[in-house]
Amino acid sequence: MAQFSSIDFQMMSRAIDLAKGGVYTTAPNPNVGCVITRNEEVVGEGFHYRAGEPHAEVHALRMAGEQSVGATAYVTLEPCSHYGRTPPCAEGLIKAKVAKVICASQDPNPQVAGRGIKMLRDAGIEVEVGLLEQEALALNPGFIKRMKTGLPYVQLKMAASLDGQTALANGQSQWITSPQARQDVQQWRARSGAILSTSKTVIEDNASLNVRWSELPESIQQRYSQTDLRQPTRVILDRQNKLTPDLKLFHSPGERLVVSEHGEVAMSLNEQQQIDLEATLACLAQQHNINHVWVEAGATLASSLIREQLVDELILYFAPKLMGSDSRGLLGALGLESMTDVIDLNIKDVRQVGKDIRIVASIANKER
Ligand code: AOF
Ligand code: ZN
């Protein structure tokens, strides 16, 4: 393992911060940042903003100009080696005559996967890999999971009273959580490639399930122009063809993919005659290049996704309310028979959003 200096850590941290500038815009491409230094001074920096546009290294090299000769480049992802929508960054770094490249992690894209590093080394450039690797990998959970497994990263959102209930026995449920929590949801939607829901949820709430500029937090409105933010693709499971054309879903901005017998995504049924969720997610990742799925639906879909170990992260909002056990709970049956099978969570973040509590947790005992 290479020895990295404190300047190295500082510069890679800067590159990681820069990369975050693309969280709402780069999909299906990864978020990547780059800093170029000479004599420990920053001479260039940049990040990837949108698929089809220049990669992080190109922006940083343009800014550095002649000063890239003999410089060190810090990149959060291995520089690419392939002609995609843009020419290979490894070639750009070689032409710019940098002396050293430090990357946080390898690119899991099979078109790159170490070839970028090899190209640089073959050209006599010193390359080191692994600086702040975990932090850099955390920039792109969806891209990495899609490249490595052919499945998207799945975040499941749920909202409930403090005692875990979501609706009264008579079905009344709307607005358990505060407007601030709903604004927070808008921000998560804006980061994701797709929103997954069911025809039941869409019909009950007449939900448009898209990103509404006016409801996004001000910090996002100030930083991004309305036209730059992408709408996630709305993916609706509709096994029984219940969706009707009058629904808001069909009259609001954003693409739609209906999963049904004759829908844009052909459904495959499992043994229980339910839509095969893994096959659906695989189709989204592999045919539609979706890295990151945000799920907003009811207890049935939530339970199935958890049972099938397809969820990576839970985003739970708890409102300071009590609803009692004659209400409906967050999840349906999980069929657990032993305490050793209980789903263990790792809490990643807890905070108050408006009046509510938000918990972000990953699933600890996931087998894949
Ligand atoms: C880099 N620097 O900033 C990014 C990289 O379609 P293209 O040409 O944009 O290529 C996309 C692929 O390039 C993407 O799948 C990933 O492997 C790599 N992304 N590489 O050197 C960057 N965004
Ligand atoms: Zn590149």
pLDDT digits (tens, 9 = 90+) for 97-107: 999 999 999 99
Residue 107: CB within 6 Å of ligand 1? yes
Residue 55: CB within 6 Å of ligand 1? yes
pLDDT of amino acid 1: 60
pLDDT digits over 332-341, tens only? 888 889 998 8
Catalytic residues: 57
| 282 pLDDT tier (thresholds 50, 70, 90) | very high
Q: Does domain 6-139 have CATH number 3.40.140.10?
A: yes
Q: Which CATH class is domain 142-363?
A: alpha beta
Report the Cα–Cα distance between both ends of the chain, in Å, rounded.
Answer: 28
Residue 79: CB within 6 Å of ligand 1? yes
Q: What is the mean pLDDT of residues 353-368?
A: 87
Residue in 55, 57, 83 to alter for ligand 1 test, most ligand atoms within 8 A of Cβ: 55
Residue 51: CB within 6 Å of ligand 1? yes
Least confident of 10-19, 150-159, 173-182, 285-294: 173-182
pLDDT of amino acid 217: 86
Q: If you measure from the C-alpha of residue 247 to the centroid of ligand 2, how many angstroms do you get, rounded to a whole number? A: 42
Q: Flag whether pLDDT at 175 surpasses 80.
A: no
Q: Residue 258 contacts by C-beta under 8 Å, 6 or more apart in sequence?
A: 236, 238, 243, 264, 265
Which regions of the chain carry the CATH code 3.40.430.10? 142-363
| 302 pLDDT tier (thresholds 50, 70, 90) | very high
Q: Flag whether pLDDT at 231 surpasses 70.
A: yes
Residue 89: CB within 6 Å of ligand 1? yes
pLDDT of amino acid 176: 82
| 84 is known to lie in a ligand binding site | no
Q: If you measure from the C-alpha of residue 268 to the centroid of ligand 2, how many angstroms do you get, rounded to a whole number? A: 37
Type of residue at 302: A
Atom of ligand 1 nearest to the CA of 116: 21
Average predicted confidence (pLDDT) for the chain: 93
Nearest to 368 by CA among 290, 288, 314, 311: 311
Q: Flag whether pLDDT at 238 surpasses 80.
A: yes
pLDDT digits over 180-203, tens only? 998 999 999 999 999 999 999 999
pLDDT digits over 79-96, tens only? 999 888 888 999 999 999
pLDDT digits over 32-80, tens only? 999 999 999 999 999 999 999 999 999 999 999 999 999 999 999 999 9
Residue 28: CB within 6 Å of ligand 1? no
| 283 is known to lie in a ligand binding site | no
Q: Which residue has the tokens 């056990």?
A: 325
Q: For 24-43, give one letter per residue: b (16+ CB within 10 A) or e.
A: bbbbebbbbbbbbbbeeebb
Q: Flag whether pLDDT at 173 surpasses 90.
A: no
| 181 is known to lie in a ligand binding site | no
| 188 is known to lie in a ligand binding site | no
Atom 15 in ligand 1: residue holding the nearest Cα: 29
Q: If you measure from the C-alpha of residue 75 to the centroid of ligand 1, how many angstroms do you get, rounded to a whole number? A: 12
Q: Residue 175 contacts by C-beta under 8 Å, 6 or more apart in sequence?
A: none
Nearest ligand to residue 146 Cα: 1
Which regions of the chain carry the CATH code 3.40.140.10? 6-139
Of the two residues 213 and 353, the one the predictor is more confident about is: 353
Atom 10 in ligand 1: residue holding the nearest Cα: 84
| 5 pLDDT tier (thresholds 50, 70, 90) | very high
pTM of this structure: 0.92
Least confident of 30-44, 220-234, 344-358: 220-234
